[in-house]
Amino acid sequence: MTLGSEHQRTSSVARRELVSWALYDFANSGYTTVIMTTIYSAYFVGVIAVSTQDISPGMPTLLWSIAIGLANFVVMIAGPVVGVLADHQARKKVFLFISSVGCVISTALLAVVGPGEVLLSMLLLTLSAIMFSQGENLIAAFLPELVPKEKMGRLSGYGWCVGYLGGLLTLGCCLWIINWGQQQGMADTDIIPITILLTAAIFALTATPTFLWLRERAIPETKDEQFSYFRISFNRLGHTFKQATHFKDLFRFLLALAVYQSGV
């Protein structure tokens, strides 16, 4: 992306803009905590896809893994293209908004999926995971525009801290709802959809300051008509991998992390 000097890049950044950047981690961490890690993952295996145990005892877990694996594959292919489009057109914020709305809507729609509707649940789960991951990539791309290199780690750390807080608060609210619902004699099929809608609502509400206050500072680049965005993106990806050979320990770490996260 084309930017001014580091001083121009960071001197006009208001505190509320830094806060709004970190708040995005607060917003989307509820999704990973409630949907991907705890409540909905258990609900999918134990309720939505439980009928597939007739095929194999581990089939519900396998189907969950397939949905997440498919999302990761799509992000791996589409991520570089979206990144190039956002950079060249200086529209990171637009793409971030689209991915956020997509994640919120697909997450909310999970609330209407009932037991046995496995394919629909997998489709919405995959879509929400794709949109979430694209949002993660795009919000991270704002970091060099907000602070100088020596302060990136600090701001990123604040984002992680706020993110953990958001995830725990969202999970806490959802667990309270589950406990209350069980005391009222409600079925899981009545309680869990409420927690899903709450998670989507928290994402939407707490991400709003990001879109109100976070500025797009990049300047659109001139595109060479001889090259498609797809080709440009994978040329950049190839260059990145070539540079990674100079940092073999880091490359091994990232490769191991990717394999580990896929297993998780």
Portion of the chain with pLDDT greater than 90, in percent: 68
Candidate from 17-21, 70-74, 147-151, 216-220 with smallest mean pLDDT: 216-220
pLDDT tens profile 64-121: 999 999 999 999 888 888 888 888 888 999 999 999 999 999 999 999 999 999 999 9
Residue 155 and residue 22: Cα distance in Å, rounded?
Answer: 8
Residue 1 and residue 216: Cα distance in Å, rounded?
Answer: 11
What single DSSP character describes residue 1? -
Higher pLDDT pick, 173 / 238 = 173
pLDDT tens profile 107-165: 999 999 999 999 999 999 999 999 999 999 999 999 999 999 899 999 999 999 999 99
Residue 206 and residue 149: Cα distance in Å, rounded?
Answer: 27
Number of helical H runs and strand E runs in the chain: 11, 0
pLDDT at 261: 62
Residues of the chain by 3-state class (helix, strand, coil), percent to 5: 80, 0, 20
Other CB atoms closer than 10 Å to residue 246's CB: what's the count?
Answer: 8
> Contact, 63 vs 116, CB < 8 A?
no
Token reading at 89: 């057109």
At residue 137's C-alpha, the angle toward residues 164 and 89, to 5°, is 140
pLDDT at 7: 44
- What global pTM score does this model have? 0.86
pLDDT at 90: 86
Residue 111 and residue 50: Cα distance in Å, rounded?
Answer: 17
Q: Kindly indicate the confidence band of residue 263, based on its pLDDT and cuts at 50, 70 and 90.
A: low
3-state SS, residue 254: helix
Q: Kindly report the length of the chain.
A: 264
3-state SS, residue 216: coil
Of 11, 17, 14, 28, whose CA–CA distance to 213 is shortest? 17
Q: Kindly indicate the confidence band of residue 12, based on its pLDDT and cuts at 50, 70 and 90.
A: low
Burial of 212 (0-12, 13-18, 19+ CB in 10 A): exposed
pLDDT tens profile 171-214: 999 999 999 999 999 999 999 999 999 999 999 999 999 999 99
pLDDT at 244: 67
pLDDT at 3: 45
> Contact, 93 vs 211, CB < 8 A?
yes
Residue 102 and residue 31: Cα distance in Å, rounded?
Answer: 13
Phi then psi for 2, rounded to 5 degrees?
-100, 120
User: Residue 100 is inside which H or E element, if any?
Assistant: helix 92-109
Token reading at 169: 């608060």
> Contact, 23 vs 210, CB < 8 A?
yes
Token reading at 135: 């949002």
> Contact, 223 vs 127, CB < 8 A?
no
pLDDT at 6: 45
